[in-house]
Amino acid sequence: MELEEFLNIVPHQQQARMRRSTLELWCHIYAYIELQGFADTVDDLEFKECIEGYKQKEVPNSTVMAHLRRMAECGLLTGHHLRVRGRVDLLGAMMGSRSPTHMVRYTLHDRECPLRSKTSEDSQRATAASKQVKEEEEREGPKEVRTLDDVSKLLRWLEEKRQERLVITSEQSERLNKLVADASGILRTTDANIQKLYIGAAMRSNLDPGV
């Protein structure tokens, strides 16, 4: 939505009391809600990111809520009071604050309020993606080897496949050869670092390193 189009629906008396930069922000908020169907500051992390991306800086929740409330007061939006159930605010818990039990979700004027939870949907998508990656690794092996933990995963996978008498295809062989080479490089580097640290400690203690 263009600003001039948005100004046609903002009451003139409201426009007279506002700076153009605020009207531009309101237009951005209105366009987001028009596209997404709703916005709130509890469940809709994408909305907060959208506002901060537009402003190019961090914006407190209280400021965003104030804009939404003012837009509702002049008839541009409708606020729907909802009860929050089963949502865990991890950041809030870490900081010692309680998760919100109520929130206001805003829609365009006289629009039905969706009751879906973006937080739950995002969590379900993340869980499904993690499960898919795990299943692929169980079937094909690790995608890459960059750390000692990855080396351990590769060793476990190779042992499991050895016990299953896995037949490796030429395509798998090329990829596994690279993984094994990467793992060997990590082990050599780790061994060299351990010896270096041990020799340094032994010399400081006037001991024979024995390596």
- List the domain boundaries for the chain: 3-119, 141-204
Query: For residue 114, is pLDDT > 80?
Result: yes
Bridge partners of residue 105, in order along the sequence: 80
Give every CB contact of residue 208 below 8 A, 6+ residues apart in sequence. Answer: 202
pLDDT of residue 75: 93
Q: Under a CB-based contact definition with an 8 Å cutoff, are residues 6 and 27 in contact?
A: yes
Summarised one tens digit per residue, pLDDT across range 39-61 is: 998 888 899 999 999 999 999 98
Of 50, 113, 25, which Cα lies nearest the Cα of 77?
Answer: 113
Q: Under a CB-based contact definition with an 8 Å cutoff, are residues 54 and 28 in contact?
A: yes
More confidently predicted of 30 and 211: 30
Task: Say whether domain 3-119 belongs to CATH 2.30.40.10.
Answer: no
pLDDT of residue 210: 62
CA of 24: how far to CAs of 2, 11, 57, 92, 205, in Å? 9, 15, 16, 31, 69
Q: Under a CB-based contact definition with an 8 Å cutoff, are residues 154 and 181 in contact?
A: no
- What is the rounded CA–CA span in Å between residue 202 and residue 120? 55
